[in-house]
Amino acid sequence: MRTAENIVDVLEIMDEMLERFRAEADPRGLFLALYRAVTREIHRGIEGGRYDDGDRMSRFDAVFANRYFEAVDRWDRGERPTRAWRVAFEAGRDAGVCVVQHLLLGINAHINLDLGVSAAAICPGPALPALGRDFERINDTLKLLLDVSQDAVNHLSPMMGLIDTFAIRADEMMATFSVQLARREAWENAEVVGACPPERVAGAIDRIDRRAATLGRLVARPGALVGAALRVVRTFEEKDVRRAIEVLAAIPTPA
């Protein structure tokens, strides 16, 4: 497995991986296409001086992405990735899981587990507060990309409006899921992991992973009412995984 050292490496690895997923019609490419769009915008922000410490943000992005790359590599080799990623990847074997669920499962594993762990790794212990402002700036990037990506999801899943019948708006499944809340919790996770003595770090990460996996299972297997609506959504949405990946990969850069 190739390891990224900076955000340029991350984008190169993502491009290679995304092409493989598209060629193999692998549903993991749905989340990766969205993830790459976010990474592309963060890189744009680094180049434009948006962050207090662009070099640190580039390294942070690499540490963060490497956790995803490792999870993919472990799964491909028949090994066990973290629980949250295992839930996300197992969903790829279920033809009944719809596009938005695949996206949310990836977002869940990567933010609710990987983000806080990565923040603690790049700025351990008392160094963490220095990352705070740049960490918050990513929230603005995520909001912009999620707004734009909602159009792509609606294109792929034209019946997502059916969720309105059950008082759950489609855009709320993407945003209120909730990325902002998850990122706040990720910061708290970083504080917890960063405060642990070395011998307790693994246990702290395992507890975070268990919580993320529990939430992931709820996304993959929602209650009867929402589950029934999602089955209808899946019936009418784009079945060609390659095409769906291409649509998500073409998400435009926000103005």
Q: Indicate the helix (H) or strand (E) that contains 216.
A: helix 198-220
In order of 97, 157, 160, 170, 233, the CA distances from 236 in angstroms are 12, 7, 9, 15, 6
Residues 109 and 216 sit within 8 Å (Cβ to Cβ): yes
Rounded Cα distance between 31 and 42, Å, is 17
pLDDT tens profile 16-64: 999 999 999 999 999 999 999 999 999 999 999 999 999 999 999 999 9
- Higher-confidence residue: 116 or 231? 116
Q: Which of 35, 34, 236 is nearest to 155 (CA)?
A: 236
- Higher-confidence residue: 179 or 108? 108
Rounded Cα distance between 242 and 139, Å, is 29
Q: What is the mean pLDDT of residues 155-169?
A: 66
Q: What is the residue whose two structure tokens read 């549903």?
A: 27
pLDDT > 80? residue 154: yes
pLDDT tens profile 66-91: 999 999 999 999 999 999 999 999 99
User: Between 28-47 and 83-90, two packed helices, what is the crossing angle to 10 degrees?
Assistant: 120
Report pLDDT for 178.
65
Q: Which of 120, 92, 91 is nearest to 213 (CA)?
A: 91
**Residue 125 is which amino acid?**
G
Report pLDDT for 228.
80
Report residue 252 as tokens: 């435009």
Residue boundaries of the structural domains of the chain: 7-249
pLDDT > 50? residue 167: no
Quote the percentage of the chain above a pLDDT of 70. 92
Q: What is the mean pLDDT of residues 231-249?
A: 93
Q: Based on the number of CB atoms within 10 Å of its own CB, is 214 exposed (0-12), middle (13-18) or buried (19 or more)?
A: middle
* Neighbour tally for 15: CB within 10 Å: 13
Report pLDDT for 145.
75
Quote the percentage of the chain above a pLDDT of 90. 71
pLDDT > 80? residue 122: yes
